[in-house]
Amino acid sequence: MLKGIPPILSPELLKVLCEMGHSDRIVISDGNFPAQSMGKDSIVIRLDGHGVPEILDAILTVFPLDTYVEKPVTLMEIVKGDTAKTPIWDTYKTIVEKHDTRGSDVIGQMERFAFYDSARTAYAIVATGEKALYANIMLQKGVI
């Protein structure tokens, strides 16, 4: 155990977060995201018993967001014509505001297939058991 480190951050995940360099990206995916196929060239870490918000909050405790890009946090856009609701995005905004002085202005959106393309080149993907729809989120690492 370590002091000051959220216990949800496993040794494997901490190692990956530490290995990541400036502008590397990590995806925290919902339970429907094809993490294994998207992550063929990435590190896939499974945290199936957890939801995205608790993992996002823990990661942002130790992970600096990129200050050299306008939107270092990216959500997957709702597909045109889909009537899904995304209340989890409000939770994400609250979490990001807690950890970054720029607030929710750092959050952008990306079309579904563009998000997949970007996820394929992410350094790592954290696969969760999150049941909310459109709950995938990508973070771009900054510097300290």
Residues serving a catalytic function are 22, 66, 116
- Yes or no: say if 114 and 98 are a contact pair by the CB < 8 Å rule: no
HSE toward the beta carbon, residue 86, CA cutoff 13 A: 18
CA 89 to chain centre: 12
With H, G, I as helix, E, B as strand and everything else as coil, classify residue 2. coil
**Helices (DSSP H) in 70-121: which residue ranges?**
88-99, 112-120
Length of the chain: 144
- Yes or no: say if 28 and 67 are a contact pair by the CB < 8 Å rule: no
Nearest to 141 by CA among 58, 54, 69, 38: 69
